[in-house]
Amino acid sequence: MKTHNSLFIGLLISSLLHVVIAIATSVAPSFKPGAVGVRQLSVTLAPNMEKPAPQEPQQVPPIPKPSIRKNQQQSPTAPIKVADRPVPRVRPEKTKITPKTEATDHVEDSLPPRMEEIRGAWNRVKRTPGSSMATPQTRPEMTSASVSPPSGSSSIANEPDKTSGAQSAVITREQHYLAVLRERVEREKFYPPVSKRRGEEGQVVVGFVIRKDGELTDFTIIRSSGIRRLDNAALRTLRGISPFEPIPEILRRQEWTLSVPIVYSLSQNKTIKK
């Protein structure tokens, strides 16, 4: 009975739609030109289908979860052993302290009475024609630059009042030895004849080493005169006085480094030496 009613209603609706379409087509020519044409609508009436009865959803059995063993033991990770590197022992470097064996001793000008007389004779200056005053002779000074005094500090020469009797004897003997050496150099000084004719003058400082037996070695020009002929003459002078007197035992020196200035002056050469 329900199906017949639905078919009747469908036919009624379809007829109404056809009537509406017919009226629309008859009214369409009254539209303005350029209007959009009438679209034909086709309606298909489908029979009213009964809805199927709802089905009950099936129950899906639960998926079994994998069982986890609680007693599963994890293998312990073995600790990494780091090999201890042996620390090298640093040996402290031993610094050898070498005592300085060289010092500079300035010999005082105190001379024995005989040397004072010789020096006074050398200092007598005569007036020469052609010059207002002859240049006084400059006595060379011996400079010691070797081992420090063995029996005392370097302040012996500066503070003679504080020295003992033995030290005073050493100083006196040392000064006497250097004074004799100075006089020997001046007495045997070689002045080249060519330099005399040409009027060559100057001062040469020569360094040398005197051994314990009095031999002079290791000659060197410390300060040149500017004239090679005079420099060579100074070296020849020192070689000529070797060997000298041995170093006295009281001085306790195996060798002695010295330097001496040798003055070449025409005025000094004319001075009368006694």
* Dihedral class, residue 10 (left if φ above 0, else alpha if ψ from -120 to 50, else beta): alpha
Read off the pLDDT of residues 182-207 as tens digits, 9 standing for 90 and up: 999 999 999 999 999 999 999 999 99
Q: CA separation (Å) from 89 to 82, 83, 186, 203?
A: 21, 18, 64, 60
Q: Which residue has the higher pLDDT, 90 or 182?
A: 182
Mean pLDDT, residues 245-253: 89
Count other C-beta atoms under 10 Å from residue 50's C-beta.
Answer: 8
In sequence order, what are the beta bridge partners of 255? Answer: 211
| Whether 207 contacts 257, CB under 8 Å | yes
- CB environment 179-205: b (16+ within 10 A), e (fewer): bebbbbbbeebbbbeebeeeebbbbbb
Asked if the model's pLDDT at residue 129 lies above 50, the reply is no
Mean pLDDT, residues 35-58: 54
Tokens 């050398």 — which residue? 122
Q: How far is the C-alpha of 48 from the C-alpha of 33, rounded, in Å?
A: 43
Q: How far is the C-alpha of 97 from the C-alpha of 113, rounded, in Å?
A: 44
Q: What is the pTM of this model?
A: 0.40
What structural domains does the chain harbor?
117-123+137-269 (3.30.1150.10)
Q: Which residue has the higher pLDDT, 1 or 99?
A: 1
Count other C-beta atoms under 10 Å from residue 167's C-beta.
Answer: 16
